[in-house]
Amino acid sequence: MQNRKIPWARFAVEGALVVGSILLAFSIDAWWDSRRDYTRGRALLENLAEEFRAIKATQDMVMGWHKIAVSAAEQLLEVAAGDQLPSELNPDSVLAEVFLTGVSYNPSSGALDSYLALEPSGQGVDPELRSLIASWSGLVEDVAEDEIRISNLIDDQLSPYLVSSRILH
């Protein structure tokens, strides 16, 4: 057997290069994942913002209808209290505004559901914004419950009262 000298320095350099290459690959992979997550999160937030803009526009329209219904209901209450409807108002149109303009609206939540499903940690999002986004569906449910209560109030109390007072036939 021949006594050969083992090149430990060369093995150490090659080992360091292999370890360094692996660490570099992990770093690049982590950077790429982070970039992909950021891009996906950005797209989700942009979709969410667009959905909220559409909801706001529709909600403003629904609020206008509700204001018309409330104004007409106030006029009916004044008539019930003994006042006369102003001559320029048609009783049928006032009744129609109360009973037909009450619109229920359940806003879309597709982007919100996607955001909450794909971004469970809310990484990169302000915690207060994340909390507000997460509470949105509860607020929508509260509004829907209020609309049901109002509809029941009209059906169970206002309509029978108007019929019994001969305001509505």
pLDDT of residue 32: 95
pLDDT of residue 55: 83
pLDDT of residue 169: 54
Q: What are the structural domain ranges in the chain? A: 8-164
Sign of CA dihedral 96, 98, 101, 102: negative
CB atoms within 10 A of CB 96: 13
Name the region of 124 (left: φ>0; alpha: ψ -120 to 50; beta: rest).
Answer: left
Q: Which amino acid is at 74?
A: E
pLDDT of residue 110: 74
Walking along the chain (169 residues) 10 residues at a time, the average pLDDT comes out as 79 95 96 88 83 84 81 76 70 70 69 68 67 78 81 78 67
Can you tell me the distance from the alpha carbon of 70 to that of 86, in angstroms, rounded to the nearest whole number?
Answer: 17
Instruction: Tell which residue, 67, 125, 143, has the closest CA to residue 98.
Output: 67
pTM for this one? 0.56
**What are the contacts of 94-97 at 24+ separation with CB within 8 A?**
95/162, 95/168, 97/68, 97/69, 97/71, 97/72
